[in-house]
Amino acid sequence: MQKILFVCLGNICRSPLAEGIMLKLISDKNLTLEIDSAGTSNFHAGEKPDNRTVLNAKKHGVDLTRLRARQFSEKDFDDFDAIYVMDKSNMTNVLAHAKNKEQEQKVELFLNTLFPNQNMEVPDPYFGGEEGFEDVFNLIYSTCEKMIEKYS
């Protein structure tokens, strides 16, 4: 079974949203994929996702209430086949833990699945307004749909 990890900074907005959307699509399509998410920081470890993210996802039929934030660790390189990061600073922080080329090659920018080779970043909605959460939901949802095709 393929194991996929999503990583952002706090693990309370972008990466838990990707996790929740993937879990829903996987269940809708009866696929077997293992999904988790983590943050490069420990700022929110143990917490539920940001309330604005939870409410926006709920509006779209995605339940995030069971998820809890945790910090990314070196062991994740052993446990996961692919590690999708939301932005370039996440990329730098994750790669700093890689022990070899094989581990480095597991790391990819999340949006490259939807926009190959564009190296685009998922904007961090944390410090912005409500519309930022809606935009991020749509961007992450479209990318997850594409990812499901890739892993089907």
Tell me if residue 78 is catalytic.
no
Choosing from 36, 76, 87, 124, the catalytic residue is 124
Tell me if residue 8 is catalytic.
yes
Tell me if residue 52 is catalytic.
no
How far is Cα of residue 115 from the mean position of the Cα atoms in its chain?
16
Per-residue mark of binding to ligand 4NP, 5-34 (x: CB under 6 A)? ---xxxxxxx--------------------
Closest CA to 20 of 45, 52, 49, 51: 49
Least distance from C-beta 14 to ligand 4NP, angstroms?
3
Least distance from C-beta 145 to ligand 4NP, angstroms?
20
Cβ atoms of 12 and 44 closer than 8 Å: yes
Dihedral angle, C-alpha 120, 55, 30, 110, nearest 10 °: 10
Choosing from 13, 14, 50, 87, the catalytic residue is 14
Residues 6+ apart with CB under 8 A from 55: none
Nearest CB to ligand 4NP, comparing residues 13 and 147: 13
